[in-house]
Amino acid sequence: MGAPNVFAGDLASLTIENRRVYRQGFQLLARLDKEYGIYNNFQFSGVPEPTDNEWHLWGKLNDEGYGAVIVIRGKEGANQKKINIPWVQKDKKYKIRLCFSGKELGQISGKMLFEGYLELKLDKNSQEIVEIMPAR
């Protein structure tokens, strides 16, 4: 879930940069689990079926619609895509942050997330974790 590419080899050969990236990734996942219980939740629409070619996503949102949505772009497809997040509550407002890029997208209504207002831009073979949190 949003982890860096697989490392196969001697762990002692990891560079300082490799260790930093892995540490940050594990810290991010630990924080998301502590705040939203992401490991206790899983939503996947199954449409379209995941491939290495196109975009796909799945949710790790709690009953209030808070948590993380993992978005992956394969080796093909458009650079930008509108995504809908059907697991939120339409009547709530949410604050949106892109965890890997660090971008704050501000507040968006659950209805807008549900209807595909959110548009992401990803490079080929890349991913993003969309954090969906309470609007304050």
- d(CA 57, CA 70) in angstroms, rounded, equals 5
Tell me which residue range forms the domain holding 53: 36-134
Q: What is the CATH number of the domain that holds 51?
A: 2.60.40.1180
Assigned domain for 11 exists: no
**Taking the model in full, what pTM does it have?**
0.86
Assigned domain for 80 exists: yes
Assigned domain for 10 exists: no
Number of domains in the chain: 1
Assigned domain for 52 exists: yes
Assigned domain for 7 exists: no
- d(CA 133, CA 61) in angstroms, rounded, equals 10
**pLDDT attached to residue 88:** 95
Q: How many CB atoms lie within 10 A of CB 131?
A: 23
pLDDT digit of tens for each residue in the chain (136 aa)? 444 455 566 778 888 998 898 889 899 999 999 999 999 988 876 556 777 888 888 899 999 999 999 999 999 989 999 999 999 999 999 999 999 999 999 999 999 999 999 999 999 999 999 999 999 8
Assigned domain for 15 exists: no
